[in-house]
Amino acid sequence: MAGLRIENLRKSFGAVDVLKGIDLDIRDGEFVSFLGPSGCGKSTLLRSIAGLEELTDGAIHLGDREITDLPSAKRDIAMVFQNYALYPHMNVRKNMSFGLSLNGMKADEIDRRVKDAAETLRITELLDRKPKQLSGGQRQRVAIGRAIVRKPQLFLLDEPLSNLDAGLRVTMRAELAALHERLGVTMVYVTHDQVEAMTLSSRVVVLDKGRVSQFGSPLELFHRPANLFVAGFIGSPKMNFLPVRASGADGARVTVSGAGFRQPLAVELAAQAAAVDDLTLGIRPDQMRIGAPETGHLTGTVRLVERLGTESHVHVALEDGTALVIITDGTHPGRAHDRVGLTIPAEAAHLFAPTGEALPRKLDPDTERLLQV
């Protein structure tokens, strides 16, 4: 087993820079997800680690070996592909053993590994079938089995659940978590689904336009996003943003106010920040409160109420047209065209500098503890 260290990794396709200097230090046995919108470079990064893409610059270390220039086969890795990439003309057993037998492994050792992997993944009775005869979930298991039999130091998984239907995805997610627990091997997982990333990973790499936007534990990304991109990307519905001006500062406490604010808001930061005037205030939909008109910080008009049963998503437009979403209880009586007052709890507010960087906020000690991995 081994950790993975990536230094200044760059990759360009012609004039297009896809990865613009990635530095990562993934610990031994960790489950790390690469999360980001399409085109952020997450798959390219994974394929670079796998040796399927030639790097433009940078270095990759697996454990104490540098693997930057090694061919894929010599990197001691295994990869699971999005569309499974099973050999359609080979049965499951052959699919799993193909690479091993060609590399001169003894037949009884191969049999033992295939048997063990099949038992782990509960596909023993499928060993003599062809991929066409399997369901999506079974094929995915075979693809994972093909990775397991290699006993690699590092597992690379490229959106392995995205071709499955929603129900199966949840089941397979739990199975992947259990598998990681059982094998204890370092796993790197690419996904565009933040729920997958948050639930499976010990830490998540959020990628944006070929750069690491933030690398942290799931709760760290949620409670202390490093910048506007992460704040807006993590959480659904996404965080509400309002332009505000700092009207005063007292140590680590910044008082802000914006257009339409009935009263200013005093936000407690983790540390004293350099004085900046123009800021962006971020507030998660579940933290805002709806009340009677002319109460709280802001007043707006309800545009739409989405009833989800356990909760309602209330879409509110402020006077200047800014759209906000508030999550409230499932039986909230609000209706379209209602005038409502909105309250922003100061302890739940995020502040961002004009550069997009967050001013780290003060968290209560219980939450603070949860952020540590």
Nearest in space to 42 (alpha carbons), one of 82, 75, 72, 76:
82
Indicate whether 71 belongs to the interface with other proteins (CB under 8 A).
yes
Instruction: Choose which of 8, 72, 135, 272 interacts with other proteins (CB under 8 A).
Output: 72
- Residue number with CB closer to other proteins (52 or 249): 52
Instruction: Choose which of 36, 41, 131, 210 interacts with other proteins (CB under 8 A).
Output: 131
- Residue number with CB closer to other proteins (71 or 167): 71
Indicate whether 14 belongs to the interface with other proteins (CB under 8 A).
no
Interatomic CA distance for residues 47 and 29, integer angstroms: 20
Instruction: Choose which of 8, 133, 272, 367 interacts with other proteins (CB under 8 A).
Output: 133
Interatomic CA distance for residues 271 and 93, integer angstroms: 58
Indicate whether 103 belongs to the interface with other proteins (CB under 8 A).
yes
Before 237, cis peptide (omega within 30)? Answer: yes
Indicate whether 307 belongs to the interface with other proteins (CB under 8 A).
no
Q: How far is the CB of 112 from other proteins (least distance, A)?
A: 18
Q: Which string of DSSP letters, residue by residue, matches 138-201?
A: HHHHHHHHHHHTT--SEEEEESTTTTS-HHHHHHHHHHHHHHHHHH--EEEEEES-HHHHHHH-
Interatomic CA distance for residues 216 and 201, integer angstroms: 10
Instruction: Choose which of 11, 113, 139, 146 interacts with other proteins (CB under 8 A).
Output: 146
Tokens of 169: 């995805």
- Residue number with CB closer to other proteins (191 or 214): 191
Indicate whether 125 belongs to the interface with other proteins (CB under 8 A).
no
Indicate whether 93 belongs to the interface with other proteins (CB under 8 A).
no
Interatomic CA distance for residues 316 and 330, integer angstroms: 16
Interatomic CA distance for residues 114 and 112, integer angstroms: 6
Q: How far is the CB of 12 from other proteins (least distance, A)?
A: 19
| Burial class (CB within 10 angstroms; exposed 0-12, middle 13-18, buried 19+) of 286 | middle
Range list of H helices, 185-284: 194-200, 218-223, 228-233
- Binding part of the chain for other proteins, among 79-87, 190-198, 200-208, 299-307 by CB under 8 A, reads 79-87
Instruction: Choose which of 20, 59, 70, 85 interacts with other proteins (CB under 8 A).
Output: 85
Q: Which residues bind other proteins (CB under 8 A)?
A: 50-52, 71-74, 77-79, 81, 83, 85, 87-89, 98-100, 102-103, 129-133, 146, 150
